[in-house]
Amino acid sequence: MSVPKTILPTELKSVLEKARIENGIQGMSVAILYKGELLFAEGLGKRNDKDPFTKDTLMPVGSLTKAFTATAIGELVAEGKMDWDTTPVNTYLPEFELKDPVLTSQLTLVDVLSHRTNLSSVLLRWAKAKESRAELIKYLKYADQPSKLTSKMNYSNTMYAVAGEAAARVAGVPYEEFVTTKVFEPLGLTNTGFSQSELKQFSDYALPYNANSFKNAKEGTFIRGELIEDYLRDAPAGDIYSNVLDLVRWGRALLKGGEVDGKQALNKESIAETWAGRTFAVATRRSPDFAPVQAYGLGWAIDAYKGHAKYTHGGLISGYTSGLDIYPDLDLVVAVLANVNKSALTEHVSHYILDELLGLPRTQDWLFDVSPKETKKKYTMAEMGFKGQLPKKIENRPPVHALKEYAGVYNHLAHGDISIVYNETEDALYFKHPAFESKLEHYHFELFKGVLSIFMNSFAIGVQFETDADGMVGSLKYIGPGYGGTVFERKVVPTAAKEE
């Protein structure tokens, strides 16, 4: 099939540069690998405040990590050391227990890798934790967990951390070494590795950016972030860095059934298992451009675009957005990286490419209509999260206790400690946690409001204190994203408060 003139690299770069600006992106890169030929590989915009984003620029790829984790596990399956859907994960990793022992005895790798469980958020325990991943996993038995598995995808980074730790235990090496030897090295992915802190050893890496509004982003008014220095305990879910050149090489190795340069580098049957649908990511009919439903396999969403099978995943982490789309029947791989916290463009570049490459009907304007509208929605959702979803405020309803009587350390076994600190000079309460802190503003009665910021995301929280029968503050309810009112019991009361 001849390549239409409209997709010649010089013209495509100017179109994508315009799309970058219209979608509010600081810098990005795009690579297109078609039938083994690198049709296009370019950088656009800036990777930091002054240097250009290039095709070689490295950045964190977030949840694209999940497919690497699943594929590496597939190599252990091929070796007969693990299996997909028979042996409980707990057999490989005895520390892994859930609240329901029956469910613990049943959960397999397929269950945890296809997001079939519905584990409650454990962000408060895991964010900037000092404990090892194995130690953190021990606390999952105290987290709320419905006993019934569902056909609907319930996205969980924590379950990927469990799967990665289990596989590393079987392999007898740390998780990062396990994936490196099973996937990176056999495929020749020399620009791919782990940990944001490691990026500093390279000369060409991207810094993260965010904006206060979509308008600001389109105008190029960004807030620059920094690399995360802390080791991510859920690394198997999202700690890989790469560039678009390695990503399209990775994608083509998968669509070729694990073959690279004429050699079988990965197990073909295991790759097929990761591309088999297990749960519904989207269960209702969408635009006719896509498959009626979208399934989720093991690290991949399974879809179709205008009749062409599509295996895809996106990534979002701390000011970076990524997308990798594989069209196996067309022998086409498209990788997109962007150093901005909110963007839908990474999801739609490949749709534009297919329309141009194959001369398909242009049913939607993916770059200049669909992507900006969806990106604007992401900013709107972020604004809503910043405002929070607390009940309507009732004016002139003071707290029941003096502020210093709320001070103390509150604990939930699954979620760790929250410290409430009284600042006497300000006569104010502070919410303190290893990952974030916020001044608490009184809302009404025993409800206080704060704003937490983590990984370039800010969101409002509610802290509802509860008084015990003895008249002392005994617990608090934490109300925030992923937490509908989790109760933390007070375990330490400051001496000064006791004496009062």
Query: pLDDT tens digits for 444-487?
Result: 999 999 999 876 788 899 999 999 999 999 999 999 887 878 99
Determine the pLDDT at residue 349: 98
Contact call for residues 349 and 370 (beta carbons, < 8 A): no
Reported as a pLDDT band with limits 50, 70 and 90, residue 492 is low
* pLDDT one-digit tens code per residue, 272-318: 999 999 999 998 988 999 999 999 999 999 999 999 999 999 999 99
Determine the pLDDT at residue 366: 98
Which residues, 6 or more positions from 304, have their beta carbon under 8 angstroms from its beta carbon?
Answer: 290, 291, 310
295: phi then psi, degrees, rounded to nearest 5: -95, 170
Strand-strand pairing, 308-317 and 320-327: antiparallel
- Is the pLDDT at 189 greater than 70? The verdict is yes
Mean pLDDT of 365-377: 98
Average pLDDT, the chain: 93
> Domain locations in the chain?
5-80+157-387, 403-499
Mean pLDDT of 14-31: 98
pTM comes to 0.94
Determine the pLDDT at residue 7: 53
* pLDDT one-digit tens code per residue, 34-74: 999 999 999 999 999 999 999 999 999 999 999 999 999 99
Q: Which CATH class is domain 403-499?
A: mainly beta
CB-count exposure of residue 163 (10 Å: 0-12, 13-18, 19+)? buried
What are the angstrom distances between the C-alpha of 233 and each of 130, 323, 455?
A: 9, 23, 14
E strand intervals along 189-245 = 193-194, 209-210, 223-224, 240-242
Determine the pLDDT at residue 390: 87
Nearest of 273, 364, 262, 264 to residue 311 by alpha carbon: 273
How many residues does this entry show for the chain?
Answer: 500
* pLDDT one-digit tens code per residue, 134-165: 999 999 999 988 888 889 999 999 999 999 99
Which residues, 6 or more positions from 38, have their beta carbon under 8 angstroms from its beta carbon?
Answer: 31, 32, 245, 248
Reported as a pLDDT band with limits 50, 70 and 90, residue 500 is very low
Number of H helices, E strands in the chain: 17, 23
Could you confirm whether domain 5-80+157-387 is CATH 3.40.710.10? yes
- Is the pLDDT at 19 greater than 60? The verdict is yes
Mean pLDDT of 382-403: 90
Which residues, 6 or more positions from 214, have their beta carbon under 8 angstroms from its beta carbon?
Answer: 24, 342, 372, 375, 376, 379
Q: What percentage of the chain reaches a pLDDT higher than 70?
A: 96
* pLDDT one-digit tens code per residue, 101-124: 999 999 999 999 999 998 888 988
Determine the pLDDT at residue 230: 86
Nearest of 362, 355, 365, 445 to residue 400 by alpha carbon: 445
Mean pLDDT of 21-30: 98
Which range among 9-18, 35-44, 87-96, 330-339 shows the weakest confidence by mean pLDDT? Answer: 9-18
